[in-house]
Structure 1
């Protein structure tokens, strides 16, 4: 009985840690902010960070075009497919762990193989995340180049203020 409880706890902890490590996205609120921003561009509006820069119609058109670029690639694999693939991966790892745990003798080679597979998947996800980050930086650079020097300065000041506000909020939350 004790063995089956500890096995269940071990599997649960492993699954949770795998899910946490597998995620290539930030916290939920960050995803929602990004989606909101993308939706406002998609609907023809401007993202919140650009509203008070007094953009010309030409600038707005150029920025919208930049933001739309590459969006089709993301739509090729819907969110539900990505979630299902992750769910299947977690189920595969869980089944492999259960097989290891239920075997009469510990199979170190199989355990090392499972760990190696997990590490490979984490590395693949890390590379994918880095590529996504690179694409986003390229887009932000292209958008920044559309702005006039005055708008660029104003935008940078807003970004610095926003960053400082986030740091202050983060610090306040962790010093309570």
Structure 2
């Protein structure tokens, strides 16, 4: 091997080593970040999702778990769309309630009387939202076949038991 060839080989080896050293932190940092996000999501999976994602995720889960037909999926989507439009005034009222409570909590001292008055003012809204939610769930449940209903109820009970054991 000539001296020129050795120099070229050494330069190439040095170049690859330098590139490897420069690229390694980025590669490991990305893996570390993905691992952290995965662990973070796993630990904090009980936190709220972005608005509107829960229903989409639940419908996907129902479709997969219950093997829903395209017609059933379309019916459920229509029920949810209709429920959303009917609930819009109630959701606006809930936003106003949350804004008032947030405003009350930002004060130097908590005024229990003011909170109770605000809560009582919106009590009818809470009841109407609960009623609409129950109606929507019932309508969706009626789209399912009897076998799917039984399977979904068993799934819900299993999920409820798992969540209560996680909280304990």
Q: Which bin holds the TM-score, normalised by the shorter protein? A: 0.5 to 0.7
Judged with a 3 Å threshold, the aligned counterparts in structure 2 of structure 1 residues 128 and 31 are, in CA distance, closer, same or farther, namely farther
- 1:147 paired residue number: 144
- Judge conservation of contact 1:144–1:152 (CA < 8 Å) in 2: yes
* Contact residue 53 and residue 151 of structure 1 kept, 8 A: yes
2:142 & 2:116 partners in 1: Cα distance?
A: 39
Higher relative contact order structure (alpha carbons within 8 Å, sequence separation ≥ 6): 1
* Aligned mate of 1:54, from 50, 67, 89: 67
1:74 matched to 2:88: yes
Runs (5+) with no aligned partner, structure 1? 1-27, 99-113, 172-176
Match of 2:117 among 106, 120, 123: 120
Matches within 5 A, 1:94-173: 94=107, 116-171=113-168
Aligned CA-pair RMSD? 3.5
Separation in structure 2 between the aligned mates of residue 118 and residue 81 of structure 1, nearest angstrom: 13
Q: How far apart, in 2, do the equivalents of 1:79 and 1:121 lie?
A: 11
Instruction: Give unmatched runs, 5+ long, in structure 2.
Output: 1-44
2:68 alignment partner, SS class: coil
* 1:64 paired residue number: 77
Cα 1:133–1:83 shift into 2, 3 Å = closer
Normalization by structure 2: what TM-score? 0.56
Q: Secondary structure at 1:32's aligned position in 2?
A: coil
Cα shift at 1:129: 2.3
CA–CA distance in structure 2, aligned partners of residues 122 and 80 of structure 1: 13
Offset, 1:127: 3.4
Partners of 1:126 and 1:47 lie apart in 2 by: 33
Q: What is the TM-score with the length of structure 1 in the denominator?
A: 0.54
